[in-house]
Structure 1
Amino acid sequence: MSNYIDFQWRVTKYNPEFRDENGYYTLREEWTCPSEMGKTINGNEFTLNEYLQVEAAYIDSVIKFIEETSIDSLRILQLECTISEEDKTSPLYEKEFETMVLKEDALVNKNDIRLICKMVLRNFIWCQLYSKNNFFVHFGWDYYMYIGSKVNCLSAIEFASNNGLFVEQCASPYYFSEEDTTRQLQWSEIDDESKVIVGEEELKNVPLNEYQRIFNLTQEHPVIGSFHLKKEQMDFFQTFLKHKMNFDKYEYSFWGGY
C-alpha cells in the first residue's frame, strides 16, 4: 500500500445527520448485524426482506465503484474463513458459498466479488479486497464499509445514495501505507491449547519482496495480516531475529499491520 489512494469514503446505511461532533452515530435503535433479524427495532420487526434489500445496496454499490474505477478484479487480503456446521443452518447461508475457492492473495472477478461481499456482510468470512494503488474495499464492525479509489467515483456515489446509502468522504481506519506498517514474529508454546503469545519481536530492514517470496505471494500483496510459519522458513527469519527460534517448543506466526 505504498502510494496513497486519494479518494476514500465511508459507505453505510447510517444517516450522518445522526452523528455527534465526534462522528459517533447517536440514533437510539439501529440494526448493526444480520444476526439481529427477528428482533424488534424501532417498534418494527427486523425482517429478512429488509436485510436483503440493504445488503443488495451495499454489494451493488461496490460493483459500481469498481466499474467506475475501470478495474475488473481485486485481490483477497487478510482472509479469515471459519464456516461452522452451525453457520450452514442459518437462513442466510447459501449453497453457492461452497463453490467459492477462497485463498489469500487470490485474484477474483466481479462475479466472485459479489459473492465474497455477501459472505463478509453475513459474517461467514472476513477479508479485504484490494488493487494496488487503485482501489480497496474494507469491511468494519457494525455494517460499516469503506471504499477507496484512484478515481473520484461520482456516478457510483450517486448510485449508492439513490439506493438508500450514505456516502461520506472519510479515510478508512483500515488503510495505511507501507511506511506505517509494522511486522513482527510472535510465538506461543506448542502444548498451550489457548495459544497465548509468550513472546514477540519486531522484524526490521526486511525488503517487502523478500516477504512476498518467503510466503509465496504476488508482488501485489502488501504482506499484512497473519501467517503461520513453517519450520522450513526458520533460516530466513532467524537472520533478522535476536530470539533463537525453536520449533520443538514454540509455534510461530508472522503478523503485519498498523
Structure 2
Amino acid sequence: MKYQWRITKYNPLFRNEKGHYLLDEWTCPSEIGKIINGNLFTLEEYLFIEHAYVETIIEFLNEKRQYSLRLIQTSNRSISHEDKTSILYDNEFGMINIKEDLIVNINEIRLICKMILRNFADCQLYSKDNFFVHFGWDYYMYIGSNQKSLTAIEFAKKSGLYVEELSSPYYFEEKDTTRLVQWSEVGVEIPLVIGDEEIVNVPLEEYRKIFGLSEEHPVFGYFEITENYRDYFQLFLNHKMDFTKYEYGLWAGN
C-alpha cells in the first residue's frame, strides 16, 4: 500500500530511540476503573478516545469515497454470557455476524471497529490495493491507503490522536506470503499445532474455490481443511493425512 500510518493516542515525543513508549498509560479497555499514573481511568475517558479512533477511520473512508470494506483474518470468537455483562457490551454487537470475506458498509464498519477495540471481535478490514485498517495490541491502529488523505489526517490530529507515517507490521503482500498445512490432535480442548508443511505453486484461484472465498480475497489467515479435500492437499504433503487423529488447516501469513 502506497501510504501507511500508525494512528494512536500515544504522543511520539515520549518514545525513546528504540521506539518504546515511556509513559504509563492505559493500553486496554479492561483497565477501566483502575488507577493509572495516579489518575482514575474512567469509562467516559475511554469512550472519548474510542470515538476518535472510529471516526478517524470513517473520515479516511469518506475522503477516499470508499464506502465498504471486506473482513479478512476473522477469528471464531463468539459473544459469551460474561461478555454481555460488561459495561462495554452494546446490544448492537449481537446483531452483526462477523464472518470471513463479508463485505460491510460504513455503519457496520463503525460497529465492528468498536467491537475490535473493546476485545469482542478480531479481524482486519480490507479493500484490495485500496485500503486497510489493522488493529494491534495495546490500542495501536494502522491505516493504509492508495491516496494521501490529508483531510482525514487533520481530523485525527484535531481529535487528539497522533499520526505517524509508518508501515503496519501486519501488512504483507502475496510475494511475502508463506502457506502451511498445519495439524493438531483431534479432541484436545486447546489444540496445539504439532506439525506443518509448506505448500507452494498452488494458484490462489484453487484456494478460493476450496474455501469458498471471493475473487478479491487475498487468502491470508487460517482456513479449516475438511476431509472432502484430503486427496487434493495430500498431493503436496509428505505427511500422511489422517482425519481420525488430526484436525487440519491452511495457515497463510508471513
TM-score > 0.5 by shorter chain: yes
Tell me the alpha carbon deviations over residues 77-126 of structure 1, each in whole angstroms, 9 at most, x when there is no partner: 11122322111100000111111021100000000000000000000111
Aligned residues: 253
User: TM-score normalized by structure 2?
Assistant: 0.97
Counterparts of 2:227 and 2:107, CA distance in 1: 37
Aligned partner of 2:92 in structure 1 is 96
Aligned-residue RMSD, C-alpha: 1.0
Aligned partner of 1:41 in structure 2 is 36
Aligned: 1:59 with 2:58? no
Give the deviation of 1:160 after TM superposition.
Answer: 0.3
Aligned: 1:173 with 2:164? no
Greater shift in the superposed pair: 75-84 or 17-26:
75-84
Residue 33 of structure 1 aligns with an amino acid whose one-letter code is C
Is the alpha carbon distance of 1:117 and 1:206 closer, same or farther for their aligned partners in structure 2, counting shifts above 3 Å?
same
Counterparts of 1:39 and 1:191, CA distance in 2: 39
Conservation of the 8 A alpha-carbon contact between 1:68 and 1:151: no
User: TM-score normalized by structure 1?
Assistant: 0.96
Q: What is the SS of the residue equivalent to 2:122?
A: strand
Aligned partner of 1:231 in structure 2 is 227
Q: 2:215 aligns with which of 200, 215, 219?
A: 219
Matches within 5 A, 1:164-203: 164-203=160-199
Q: What is the SS of the residue equivalent to 1:219?
A: coil
Aligned partner of 1:141 in structure 2 is 137
Conservation of the 8 A alpha-carbon contact between 1:74 and 1:109: yes
Residue 20 of structure 1 aligns with an amino acid whose one-letter code is N
Conservation of the 8 A alpha-carbon contact between 1:69 and 1:150: no
Aligned: 1:209 with 2:205? yes
Greater shift in the superposed pair: 76-85 or 126-135:
76-85
| Divergent runs of 4+, >2 A | 191-194
Greater shift in the superposed pair: 160-169 or 226-235:
226-235
Tell me the alpha carbon deviations over residues 17-70 of structure 1, each in whole angstroms, 9 at most, x when there is no partner: 00111111111x100000000011122111010000000000000000111222
Tell me the alpha carbon deviations over residues 145-170 of structure 1, each in whole angstroms, 9 at most, x when there is no partner: 00000010100000000000000000
Percent identity of the aligned residues?
Answer: 60
Q: What is the SS of the residue equivalent to 2:81?
A: coil
Counterparts of 1:115 and 1:196, CA distance in 2: 32
Aligned: 1:75 with 2:70? yes
Greater shift in the superposed pair: 64-73 or 6-15:
64-73
Conservation of the 8 A alpha-carbon contact between 2:79 and 2:94: no
Q: 2:22 aligns with which of 26, 44, 61?
A: 26
- In structure 2, list runs of 5 or more residues that go unmatched: none
Counterparts of 1:207 and 1:176, CA distance in 2: 18
Greater shift in the superposed pair: 236-245 or 156-165:
236-245
Aligned partner of 1:85 in structure 2 is 81
